[in-house]
Amino acid sequence: MKLIDPIIQFSAEIQTLRRAIHANPELCFEEHDTSELVASKLTEWGIPVVRGLGGTGVVGILSNGSGKKAIGLRADMDALPMQELNTFPHASKNDGRMHACGHDGHTAMLLGAAHYLSRHRHFDGTVYLIFQPAEEGGGGARRMMDEGLFEQFPMDAVFGMHNWPGIPVGQFGVTAGPMMASSNEFEVIVRGKGAHAAQPQKGVDPIMAAVQIAQSWQTILTRNKNPIDSGVISITQIHAGSATNVIPDEATLIGTVRTFDLDVLDLIERRMQTIAEHTAQAFDAAVDFRFKRNYPPLINTPAETAFAAGVLQAIVGENAVDTHVEPTMTAEDFAYMLQEKPGCYVFIGNGEGDHRSAGHGLGPCNLHNPSYDFNDALLPIGATYWVRLAEAFLQAA
Ligand SMILES: [Zn+2]
Ligand SMILES: [Zn+2]
């Protein structure tokens, strides 16, 4: 691996910052201490900052030379509402909050790159260091954009990175095109007419209608969607009734839909509504159909993906970069940035969890797991990638 020496020498400080952030996890749009820490470090290193974009978002601005090109490097800062099981010294001090997705590490890696770039300006143009709030469901990326991210800081491309448990340390995964799914949720209330369970003829049973709807929806995936396209409909909650001898008034179906393509999503939503309404009608029932679109699919642009993969291969070697990594049905709000700018999102291997051999809790080191911890061995690797990416993108003529 060709890591940058000054970054290796600075690793202990990056690790201290990472662990300080881990110990003080903050939820969506509440990242006040984290944002303060980021802004004060950037300022200390002589990097101009703009604060308060998207609430707690921070943008650092590093310019050099007279080049007009600009690149955005993005990290997320928020934690999750869950209880940490780890007992090591840097475990969460905030009850019910935990950095279980490694955003502490993402923030620290970008800080490590910022520190180096502030001292070694081997680039011609501008690097925008984007520290965003609220990735975990809050759409912090969208909010920063709504508040003028790309107008105030015009950039040619934007790049993101997420640690990925299961990919070995020192290896990366990336793919052109869709890499993460759109995430959407639905709530469908089937309205019938309650009755005595022994006298069903006097009512309209919403449970029978709801069950038929639930079954029929799965046929959208096998009969309406092109088999080549990916899509998931998962009903994760069914609520109805309160007694063994009462037919209730209504039944509720709740769940999620995931796709890699918005046309497929349009098709699924439309067919779900048609099936729900017409099936209910066939049972003399009615439906309230609610479908909410959350994050769009994350789609890497081909040229920037090839560019990022080339930079990674120069650092860790050709065989350590999987350029056709399997896409995942999880979602990520960096997708919004990629809807407006070319760019690429990569997975950086977080290993199998051996880094937690001292004193960790139960369970594998998976994301959103109560004994997860970001692997500090990644800090100089990720920081080196950010630096080399920015230098290559803004190469002096
Ligand atoms: Zn997460
Ligand atoms: Zn995450």
Ligand 1 centroid–CA 367 distance in Å is: 7
Cβ proximity of 69 and 392 under 8 Å: no
Ligand 1 centroid–CA 79 distance in Å is: 8
Ligand 1 centroid–CA 304 distance in Å is: 24
Ligand 1 centroid–CA 369 distance in Å is: 10
Which tokens is 133 given?
């709030």
Ligand 2 centroid–CA 151 distance in Å is: 26
Ligand 2 centroid–CA 135 distance in Å is: 7
Which tokens is 114 given?
């910022």
Ligand 2 centroid–CA 354 distance in Å is: 20
Ligand 2 centroid–CA 82 distance in Å is: 14
The predicted structure's pLDDT at residue 361: 60
How far apart, in whole angstroms, are the C-alpha atoms of residue 362 and residue 174?
30
**Amino acid code (one letter) for 267:** L
Question: What is residue 92's DSSP assignment?
Answer: -
Neighbouring C-alpha atoms within 13 Å toward the C-beta of 137: 8
Ligand 1 centroid–CA 396 distance in Å is: 37
How far apart, in whole angstroms, are the C-alpha atoms of residue 223 and residue 241?
32
Ligand 2 centroid–CA 147 distance in Å is: 22
How, if at all, do strands 57-64 and 49-53 pair? antiparallel
Ligand 2 centroid–CA 348 distance in Å is: 12
Ligand 1 centroid–CA 136 distance in Å is: 6
Ligand 2 centroid–CA 163 distance in Å is: 8
The predicted structure's pLDDT at residue 283: 98
How far apart, in whole angstroms, are the C-alpha atoms of residue 341 and residue 155?
8
Ligand 2 centroid–CA 106 distance in Å is: 9
Strands (E), the chain: 49-53, 57-64, 70-76, 125-132, 157-164, 172-173, 177-180, 182-191, 195-196, 231-240, 246-247, 250-259, 286-293, 298-300, 321-322, 343-349
**Amino acid code (one letter) for 30:** E
3 state SS of 74 = strand
Instruction: Say which ligand is closest to the CA of 105.
Output: 2
The predicted structure's pLDDT at residue 41: 98
Name which of 254, 232, 237, 132 is nearest 182 in CA terms.
232
The predicted structure's pLDDT at residue 358: 58
The predicted structure's pLDDT at residue 362: 61
DSSP string, 216-245: HHHHIIIIIS-TTS-EEEEEEEEEE-SSTT
Ligand 1 centroid–CA 368 distance in Å is: 6
Q: Is 66 exposed, middle or buried (0-12, 13-18, 19+ CB in 10 A)?
A: exposed
Ligand 2 centroid–CA 1 distance in Å is: 25
The predicted structure's pLDDT at residue 356: 77
Instruction: Say which ligand is closest to the CA of 106.
Output: 2
Ligand 1 centroid–CA 59 distance in Å is: 22
Ligand 1 centroid–CA 101 distance in Å is: 4
The predicted structure's pLDDT at residue 27: 98
Cβ proximity of 213 and 188 under 8 Å: yes
Residues of the chain with confidence (pLDDT) below 50 = none
Which tokens is 305 given?
């993906």
Q: What is the pLDDT of residues 311-338, one digit of tens each?
A: 999 999 999 999 999 999 999 999 999 9
How far apart, in whole angstroms, are the C-alpha atoms of residue 251 and residue 61?
53
DSSP string, 302-316: HHHHHHHHHHHHHHH
Ligand 1 centroid–CA 355 distance in Å is: 20
The predicted structure's pLDDT at residue 353: 83
Ligand 2 centroid–CA 318 distance in Å is: 26
Q: What is the pLDDT of residues 217-267, one digit of tens each?
A: 999 999 999 999 999 999 999 999 999 999 999 999 999 999 999 999 999
